[in-house]
Structure 1
């Protein structure tokens, strides 16, 4: 796989993750906890995708590194919120 192919595949994967999380959370019953987690999880998932796309058009290596660092942080936060949903049993593991 070439570098350009990898970039396009990863753009699609991060965007798909965002959409899948939005669709998953849209089916959950509302509660104060779910509302907060939904907000945080959607923010971090969509930010992962957006910052990855931004890194792809970085104007310098330093800017690329900075954007990719944010992407990694947001991806880790996404995993954190998914773990919170699972550990609190607010969502079934099969759903995720």
Structure 2
């Protein structure tokens, strides 16, 4: 998967989560969890774009790790929202699945980048 496709997917994921959040009933739990989810889910796309513009190898290695963290947090808050909003289980689950796919892609990329960097250092 190329970087342009991932830029689109991370942005689409953030938009989908934003639309989901806008359908949540207002209560204290949804307010707090959705506020956290807005921040971490929108950060996924922003940090991925920053990774694509990395200025050094260290920067290039670090930014995808931040994306990985933000995806993990997003998935956690989706899990909490699912517990408190069972009527939205399908929509929440669909967003969780996309987050999990993106997380798998990021982890694979991080491993590949690390191996490439190790090979470069030993060559």
2:67 to 31, 47, 71: 71
Partner of 1:56: 52
Which blocks of at least 5 consecutive residues in structure 2 are unaligned? 93-123
Q: 1:89 aligns with which of 84, 92, 104?
A: 84
Equivalent position of 1:27 in the other structure? 23
Based on CA coordinates, which of the two structures has the bigger radius of gyration? 2
Note the alpha carbon deviations across 1:63-87, whole angstroms, 9 max, x for none.
011111111000110111111112x
Tell me whether 1:10 sits opposite 2:12 in the alignment.
no
What is the distance in 1 between the residues matched to 2:26 and 2:60?
A: 38
- Deviation of 1:89 after TM superposition, in Å, equals 3.2
RMSD: 1.1
**1:28-43 matches, cutoff 5 A:** 28-43=24-39
For residue 94 of structure 1, report the CA deviation from its aligned partner: 1.1
Separation of aligned partners in 2, 1:76 and 1:45: 9
Q: Of Structure 1 and Structure 2, which has the larger fraction of its residues in helix?
A: 2
| TM-score normalized with structure 1 length | 0.89
Moved over 4 A (4+): none
